[in-house]
Amino acid sequence: MAEKKITLSNKDGSFGGYLASPSSGEGPGILVIQEIFGVNEFVREICDTHAAKGRFALAPDLFWRIEPGVDITDKSEEHWQKAFSLMQAFNVDTGMEDIQTGMTYLRSLAGCTGKVGAVGYCLGGQLAYLSATRTDSDASVGYYGVYIQDLLDEAAKITKPLMLHIAEKDQFVPPEAQAKIMDGLKGNPHVTLHSYPEMEHAFARTGGQHYDKACAELANTRSETFFRQHLG
């Protein structure tokens, strides 16, 4: 498995990304969408895991317009405050353009099959949902995405497979928001919803305060099966 930092470019400028490539040099692509902590160790590990499973995995630096190269953790109050300030300053619309730039890059790689999906966590979970409405992603997975309930007017644009993992005790996605998401998406044949009782936000973040090994492994297994079905 090869790992490297790359540079991506679009109409707004150039920004960095972390790319992990499969040892075979062939496979589909996966766009790994960061949490509010930037392209940190957790995100890079997800890329590495997908590469080990035979995919080109790219995590673009979505905070580059605010502060390039953010790499912080959930282990200190200072980092939490910085993460929330970054999220508040983040522009979703330009972020989605950067995600599409990353997908286009993946499809251009020698060895890429041309199939490209997306997976995101927290803020990235929201952006994974939007990847199903605004990009050419072939299959998208979102973990405990925030504010999706405010974006349901885009649900009719979902024409490719989307899977969402919902934490029922998510402090950032209260029960009424979860109900709106369920109700707004339940009629779409392209959408698969999974709920995890008693789980808090970020239950799949290894090393995090609310990490739950059993539910994380269940969600990850469901995601892996989903990607194998739709990306090959």
For the question of whether the overall pTM of this predicted structure is more than 0.85, the answer is: yes
Whether 14 contacts 40, CB under 8 Å: no
pLDDT tens track for 118-130: 999 999 999 999 9
Q: What local confidence, expressed as pLDDT, does residue 1 receive?
A: 65
β strands within the chain, DSSP E: 2-10, 13-21, 27-33, 56-60, 112-121, 140-143, 162-167, 191-196
**Strand pairing class (112-121; 140-143):** parallel
Q: Name the DSSP letter for residue 101.
A: H
50 has catalytic annotation: no
48 has catalytic annotation: no
Query: Choosing from 61, 138, 170, 212, which is the catalytic residue?
Result: 170
User: What percent of the chain is modeled with pLDDT above 90?
Assistant: 98
Query: Choosing from 50, 165, 201, 210, which is the catalytic residue?
Result: 201
SS3 95: helix
pLDDT at residue 81 is higher than 90: yes
pLDDT tens track for 182-209: 999 998 999 999 999 999 999 999 999 9
For residue 31, report the phi and psi dihedrals to the nearest 5 degrees: -95, 115
Domains, in order of start, for the chain:
2-231 (3.40.50.1820)
